[in-house]
């Protein structure tokens, strides 16, 4: 009988084997609500890191010769294996990430969707016919063909411990690249379990090497020229630094933001309030496209404020393993203290707490969903990425002012715009400085095949299966 214990392994996965080095110290992985230890994993040493790169190179030599049909068959087998264990993966995500189980279940469904997309895309991913039948090229034909670029380095965050890994690994497997993965040190167990499934599906040893290593070893991997691309999801500070040391690698950065929503007059206030409540506080706001800044037209400000407070105060909070709860713990004590500190600073500088503003369970790192108003743009709760259960609500006198306020940030991932006016929709699309504009919904919207990414400090490049496959390949041109 399958149990969660069978899914958890206390070693790194390299070259199709579980390896460790007890002399290097270890990492404790906690149940984020109960604070019990799920696993203790030793860090790898430098020779084992080197082994990971070499076995990744060896796997790539095999995979790069496979046909698209062969890759699709392996992906289909991997998809079947993941389907069989999706309930166990859901439970593991819930525990190690502190993610409400309903949301963890949704993450697993997305993972299956991403794998299926990768299987389908590898059968249709191709180059293009280049028109050259004129002048010096008269009588000739030309076309391009994409080839896998080589082993990939992937670094993933804690908040989607499998789906954000999947957005790096699935397109790599679809194009024929191996992957060296450094998962978040707060949520590595899901990635490790998935690595084993990749091996079971019949991919060559070294196809997905998942490493528990310290930052200094990870930095060496970023500098290693044998790894041909870097796909990083995490903080802007780390991401932009890694780009400076990545050398000639292709680099994709998915960083973060303090996403805004603009609410125009004449919209459905009840729907907008419900959407924004979920968009701000689901999973304690630990999503890079969580709604953090809310700009509302003055004519409906009071009505939306009242409806939003009512929605926030009705949220179920507590143990993420209980189906009813949509808000659980923050990822660790440091996150709890940071969120509390920022809110206290804002209050001291004149911000008003409409609801929340307090710790609910210090032992389990649970902070009350908090809504602030009368904030200033110089406050951290406004200009930094909160990545916690807080949002600011402010009045604007015009739709144009709402767009201007939304743009007043160094970030630019996604924005939500509520309006029934087609001209204002066009205005928002043309003027909002973000990678995507989501109409009549919150910025926290993502379908896994769409091009996803930000501008300004929010990132570099785009994710989405075929877009990532382009990044993980290089085209050759044939003329005859």
Residues annotated as catalytic (active site), given as ranges: 254, 288
Q: Scanning the structure block, which residue is given the tokens 């079971």?
A: 200
Cα–Cα distance measured from residue 422 to residue 24, given in angstroms and rounded to the nearest whole number? 60
Distance from the first to the final alpha carbon of the chain: 59
Q: 310-315: which pairs have CB atoms within 8 A and are 24 or more residues apart?
A: 310/273, 311/273, 311/274, 311/276, 311/277, 312/277, 312/280, 312/281, 312/355, 312/356, 312/369, 312/371, 313/355, 315/277, 315/281, 315/369
Q: Scanning the structure block, which residue is given the tokens 């993420």?
A: 320
**Which letter does DSSP use for residue 187 in this model?**
S
What is the number of other CB atoms lying within 10 angstroms of the CB of residue 353? Answer: 17
Cα–Cα distance measured from residue 243 to residue 411, given in angstroms and rounded to the nearest whole number? 17
Strand ranges (E), 128-279? 129-130, 142-148, 152-155, 179-182, 208-210, 229-233, 250-254, 260-263
Cα–Cα distance measured from residue 17 to residue 23, given in angstroms and rounded to the nearest whole number? 19
């Amino acid at each position: 009988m399958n149990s969660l214990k069978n899914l958890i392994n206390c070693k790194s996965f390299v070259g199709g084997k579980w390896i460790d080095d007890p002399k290097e110290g270890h990492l404790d992985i906690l149940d984020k609500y109960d604070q019990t230890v799920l696993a203790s994993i030793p860090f790898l040493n430098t020779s084992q890191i080197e082994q990971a790169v070499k076995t990744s190179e060896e796997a790539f030599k095999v995979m790069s010769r496979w046909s698209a049909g062969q890759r699709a068959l392996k992906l289909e087998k991997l998809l079947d294996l993941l389907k069989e264990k999706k309930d166990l993966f859901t439970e593991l995500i819930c525990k190690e990430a502190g993610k409400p189980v309903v949301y963890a279940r949704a993450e697993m469904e997305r993972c299956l969707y991403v794998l299926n997309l990768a299987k389908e895309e590898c059968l249709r991913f191709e180059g293009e016919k280049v028109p050259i039948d004129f002048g010096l090229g008269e009588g000739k034909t030309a076309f391009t063909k994409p080839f896998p670029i080589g082993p990939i380095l992937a670094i993933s965050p804690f908040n989607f411990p499998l789906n954000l890994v999947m957005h790096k690994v699935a397109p790599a497997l679809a194009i024929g690249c191996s992957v060296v993965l450094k998962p978040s040190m707060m949520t590595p167990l899901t990635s490790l379990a998935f690595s084993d499934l990749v091996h079971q599906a019949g991919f060559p040893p070294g196809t997905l090497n998942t490493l528990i290593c310290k930052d200094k070893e990870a930095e060496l991997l970023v500098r290693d020229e044998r790894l041909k691309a870097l796909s990083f999801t995490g903080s802007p500070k780390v991401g932009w630094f890694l780009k400076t040391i990545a050398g000639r690698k292709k680099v994709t950065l998915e960083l973060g933001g303090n996403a805004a929503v603009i609410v125009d007059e004449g919209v459905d206030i009840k729907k907008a309030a419900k959407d924004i409540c979920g968009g701000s506080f689901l999973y304690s706001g630990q999503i890079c496209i969580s709604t953090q800044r809310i700009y509302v037209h003055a004519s409906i400000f009071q009505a939306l404020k009242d409806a939003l407070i009512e929605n926030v105060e009705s949220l179920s909070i507590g143990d993420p393993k209980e189906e009813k709860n949509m808000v659980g713990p923050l990822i660790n004590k440091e996150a709890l203290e940071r969120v509390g500190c920022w809110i206290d600073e804002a209050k001291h500088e004149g911000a008003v707490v409409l609801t929340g503003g307090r710790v609910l369970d210090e032992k389990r790192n649970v902070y009350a969903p908090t809504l602030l108003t009368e904030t200033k743009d110089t406050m951290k709760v406004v200009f930094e990425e909160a990545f916690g259960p807080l949002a600011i609500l402010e009045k604007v006198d015009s739709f144009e002012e709402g767009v201007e306020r939304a743009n007043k940030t160094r970030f630019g991932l996604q924005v939500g715009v509520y309006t029934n006016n087609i001209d204002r929709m066009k205005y928002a699309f043309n003027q909002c400085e973000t990678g995507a504009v989501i109409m009549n919904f919150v910025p926290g919207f993502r379908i896994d095949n769409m091009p996803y990414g930000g501008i300004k400090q929010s990132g570099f490049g785009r994710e989405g299966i075929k877009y990532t496959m382009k990044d993980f390949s290089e085209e050759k041109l044939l003329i005859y």
